[in-house]
Amino acid sequence: MKLTDLDVIVTSPPAPGWGGQYWILVKITTDNGIVGWGECYASSIGPTAMTAVITDVFERHMQAENPENIELMFRRAYSSGFTQRPDLTAMGAFSGLEMACWDIIGKSRDRPVHALLGGMIHRQIRAYTYLYPSTKHTIPAFWIDPDMAAESAVECVKRGYTAVKFDPAGPYTFRAGHQPSVSDITRSVEFCTKIRAAVGDQADLLFGTHGQFSTGGAIRLAQAIAPSMPLWFEEPIPPDNFPALRQVADQSTVPVAVGERLTTKAEFAQALAHGAQILQPALGRAGGIWEAKKIAILAETYNAQMAPHLYAGPIEWAANIQLAASLPNTLMAETIETDFHFALVNHTLKVEDGYIPVPTTPGLGIDVNEDLARAHPFTGQGLHLEMTEEEISYSQANVFAGGAPVKT
């Protein structure tokens, strides 16, 4: 069995757009007709350029290779160009392609991917969700209103969720880490306090940020929200400063979670060594399923847990679930419930009472609706996610619009 053909599909989720402006899906076909699907979580270059990178990685390192040779293909891509170091874009391309290889291997053996990773240790995966506005909420007011957030949290708990995430401390910015304004801290405390009062002990609070704070600013914020007992403080500082991560972790009673912007075990090992207690790899970027399995083993040696990240489409979600099912240190997995997510995989994934049943059908356990993906092409010029260039305000609310900007 050899990898022969590649097709890249850039699909754009319709409004409200949770999951980013577009998703990059890859379809690989073997010489004996088996089709595997993957998803590349790449946001640093546009989809046209990324399609070229994905094609190059496939043709250079994977085409005509046996899909079982995951380690061989990873080493080729990781070492390409005399690098042998983490490369966010190259690994983003390889990760989705590697995901498709696992889908192929599972289908060729009539086994789910988790059965090839050591077997199933969880029959269902605890899910968490962002707090999203309902039809009765107004935007953009929702993103800075703790009462609306508390209402949304209650609705999530009613649907069975035992963990909810929110990020009221301002947008992700292209500037260096900054001190939060006093109003940012006050609003964050109000969110935590009101959501905790609304859900009681029925749900964990997951406090999100996007790497936007200075070391001192992150410590101030962590100490302010601690009385509400959040389960984690996510990405408190820029992702490339591990010594600063250690300072925050040492002075925060809230566990630090990182990982959506890291790639390969090399970077995750640094995060663990500098105090991260919860790892959030995005499997379409971190190096693929096999590399994420290695990351989870490293985490286990540090007594740390795994919570796979999802701000993409349902193919990456499917990979997250297969991986999480095989890990003894799975904490939970991010979930996005939109009609488009479910329809794109013909409802082969689902959330039941706050948990994701692990598919036991071959491969990734999904049935991709290729026609639907092609019917929603991305025609804009923006990136999957955009950073803001606006100055941080110390007199007015800094609004983070929930990760779904107007398509550009």
Rounded to 5 degrees, what angle do the CA atoms 360, 365, 369 make? Answer: 150
Asked whether residue 307 is domain-assigned, the answer is yes
**What is the structure's pLDDT at 408?**
47
Q: 330-383, pLDDT tens digit by residue?
A: 999 999 999 999 999 999 999 999 999 999 999 999 999 999 999 999 998 888
> Residues 397, 401, 331, 101: what is their CA dihedral angle, to the nearest 10 degrees?
-150
Asked whether residue 128 is domain-assigned, the answer is yes
Tokens matching residue 100: 């498709």
Asked whether residue 356 is domain-assigned, the answer is yes
* CATH number of the structural domain spanning residue 292: 3.20.20.120
Residues 20, 385 contacting (CB under 8 angstroms): yes
Question: For the CA atoms of the chain, what is the radius of gyration?
Answer: 20
**Buried b vs exposed e over 119-149: b needs ≥16 C-beta within 10 Å?**
eeebebbbbbbbbbbeeebeeeebbbbbebb
Task: Determine the Cα–Cα distance for residues 392 and 89; give it in Å rounded to an integer.
Answer: 28
Task: Determine the Cα–Cα distance for residues 356 and 337; give it in Å rounded to an integer.
Answer: 11
Asked whether residue 86 is domain-assigned, the answer is no
Question: What is the pTM (predicted TM-score) of this model?
Answer: 0.95
Domain containing 355: what range? 115-363
Asked whether residue 16 is domain-assigned, the answer is no
Asked whether residue 388 is domain-assigned, the answer is no
Cis upstream peptide for 133 (omega within 30°): no
Give the neighbor-by-neighbor strand order of the sheet with 23-30: 3-11, 23-30, 35-40
Asked whether residue 229 is domain-assigned, the answer is yes
Asked whether residue 187 is domain-assigned, the answer is yes
Q: 121-163, pLDDT tens digit by residue?
A: 999 999 999 999 988 898 888 988 999 999 999 999 999 999 9
Total domains, the chain: 1
